[in-house]
Structure 1
Amino acid sequence: MRHRHLGTATLALGLVVLTDVLRVFLPSVITIFGQAASTPAELLGAFALGWFVLALAAPPLVRLVGSRVVGVVAVALLGAARLALTAGPGGWAQLWLASAGLLAGLVWLAATAARGERAVPGLALGLAAAALGHVLVGTYDLVWRGSWAAWVAGGATVAALLAGEVLLARRRGESTPVPHVRAWLLTGPALVLGGMVALSPAVVSTATSFWFGEAGTASTPLFAFAPLGVAVALLLLAALAPPRPRARLVWPALLLAGALLFGYGPPSLLAVAVLLSAAGLGGCLALADGAAGPTARAASRRGYAVVGGMLVFAVVSVLYYAAYDLGYPNGWLPALVAVLTGLIALEGRLRPRPAAPATEESVAPAAVSTARESRAFARLPAVPIAALATLTAFAAAVLHEPWPMATNRPGPPEQVRVVAYNIRMGFGMDGRFDLTALERAVRGADVVVLSEVDRGWLLNGGHDTLHLLSDRLGLPYVFAPAADALWGDAVLSRWLVGRARTRVLPAVGAPTGAQALGVTVDFSEGVRLAVVSTHLQPPPGADPVVQARAVADFATEYADGLPLVVAGDFNTEPGDPAFAALTDAGLVDAFAAARPLPTSPADDPREQIDHVFVSPDLVASEAVAMPGTASDHLPVAVTLTLPGGAS
Structure 2
Amino acid sequence: MRHRQLRTAALALGVVVLLDVLRVWLPSIITVFGRAAETPAELLGAFALGWFVLALAAPVLVRRLGPHPVGAVAAGVLAATRLALTAAPGGRVQLWLGCAGLLAGLVWLAATAATVSRPVPGLAYGLAVAAVGHALLGTEDLVWRGGVLGWVGSVLLVAAFLAAQLAASPPAGRVALDGGAASEPGGGAGRAAWLLVGPVLLLAGQVALAPAVWDAAAAYWHGSVDLPGLALPPARLAAVPEVAIGLFLAAVLLRPPRPVARLLWPAALVVGAGLFATDRAGWLAPAVLLAAAGLGGCLALVDGPGGPSPSQDLGMAADPGTDGGRRRGFAVVGGMLGFAIGAVAYYAAYDLGYPNGWVPALAALAVAVAAVLAPPLAAAPVRWPVPVWTVLAAMLLTAVGGGLHRPAPAPKPPATPPAAVRVVAYNIRMGFGLDGRLDVDALARAVNGSRPDVVLLSEVDRGWLLNGGHDTLALLAGRLRMPYVFAPAADPVWGDAVLSRFPVRAGRTEPLAAHGAPTGAQALGVTLDLGGRDLAVVATHLQPPPGEGPVAQAGEVAAFATRYAAGRPLVLGGDLNTEPGDPAFAEFTRAGLVDALAAARPLRTSPADEPRSQIDHVFVTPGLSPSGAAAPRGTASDHLPVAVTLALP
State the TM-score, normalizing by the size of structure 1.
0.93
Q: Does 1:384 align with 2:389?
A: yes
Matched residue type, 2:126: G
Question: Which shows bigger deviation, 42-51 or 176-185?
Answer: 176-185
Q: Does 1:318 align with 2:348?
A: no
Structure-2 residue corresponding to 1:537: 543
Offset of residue 378 of structure 1: 4.1
**Aligned-partner Cα distance in 2 for 1:170–1:9:** 15
Matched residue type, 2:401: A
- Decide whether the 8 Å contact of 2:407 with 2:483 is kept in 1: no
Residue number among 235, 240, 247 corresponding to 2:253 in the alignment:
240
Structure-2 residue corresponding to 1:134: 134
Question: Which shows bigger deviation, 132-141 or 494-503?
Answer: 494-503
**Aligned-partner Cα distance in 2 for 1:47–1:438:** 29
Residue number among 559, 564, 579 corresponding to 1:558 in the alignment:
564
Structure-1 residue corresponding to 2:332: 306
Question: Which shows bigger deviation, 104-113 or 205-214?
Answer: 205-214
Change (3 A) 1:139 1:402: same
Structure-2 residue corresponding to 1:201: 211
- Decide whether the 8 Å contact of 2:408 with 2:482 is kept in 1: no
Structure-2 residue corresponding to 1:357: none
- Decide whether the 8 Å contact of 1:621 with 1:639 is kept in 2: yes
Residue number among 592, 601, 611 corresponding to 1:586 in the alignment:
592
- Decide whether the 8 Å contact of 1:69 with 1:169 is kept in 2: no
**Aligned-partner Cα distance in 2 for 1:223–1:268:** 16
Question: Which shows bigger deviation, 172-181 or 114-123?
Answer: 172-181
- Decide whether the 8 Å contact of 2:230 with 2:485 is kept in 1: yes
Q: Does 1:483 align with 2:504?
A: no
Structure-2 residue corresponding to 1:158: 158
Residue number among 296, 313, 317 corresponding to 1:282 in the alignment:
296
**Aligned-partner Cα distance in 2 for 1:371–1:78:** 34
Gaps of 5+ in 1: 350-369
**Aligned-partner Cα distance in 1 for 2:645–2:544:** 28
- Decide whether the 8 Å contact of 1:216 with 1:478 is kept in 2: yes
Matched residue type, 2:275: L
Change (3 A) 1:176 1:548: closer
Q: Does 1:228 align with 2:241?
A: yes
Question: Which shows bigger deviation, 166-175 or 49-58?
Answer: 166-175
- Decide whether the 8 Å contact of 1:7 with 1:117 is kept in 2: no
Offset of residue 374 of structure 1: 4.3
Structure-1 residue corresponding to 2:277: 263
Q: Does 1:408 align with 2:413?
A: yes
**Aligned-partner Cα distance in 1 for 2:567–2:377:** 76
Residue number among 509, 513, 516 corresponding to 1:509 in the alignment:
516
Structure-2 residue corresponding to 1:250: 264
**Aligned-partner Cα distance in 1 for 2:233–2:220:** 11
Structure-1 residue corresponding to 2:647: 641
Residue correspondence of structure 1 range 111-126 to structure 2 within 5 A? 111-126=111-126
**Aligned-partner Cα distance in 1 for 2:611–2:412:** 35
Offset of residue 405 of structure 1: 4.1
Matched residue type, 1:413: P
Matched residue type, 1:345: A
Structure-2 residue corresponding to 1:619: 625
**Aligned-partner Cα distance in 2 for 1:483–1:547:** 15
Offset of residue 347 of structure 1: 2.5
Offset of residue 285 of structure 1: 0.6
Change (3 A) 1:454 1:261: same
- What whole-Å deviation, never above 9, does each CA across 1:343-396 have from its counterpart, x for those lacking one? 1222243xxxxxxxxxxxxxxxxxxxx874645x54234521212211211222
RMSD: 1.8
SS of 2:13's partner is: helix
SS of 1:631's partner is: coil
Structure-1 residue corresponding to 2:45: 45
Structure-1 residue corresponding to 2:323: 297
Offset of residue 476 of structure 1: 1.5
Change (3 A) 1:21 1:176: closer
Residue correspondences, number: 621
Matched residue type, 1:76: G
**Aligned-partner Cα distance in 1 for 2:4–2:374:** 26
Offset of residue 218 of structure 1: 4.7
- What whole-Å deviation, never above 9, does each CA across 1:422-462 have from its counterpart, x for those lacking one? 00001000001111111111122000000000000000011
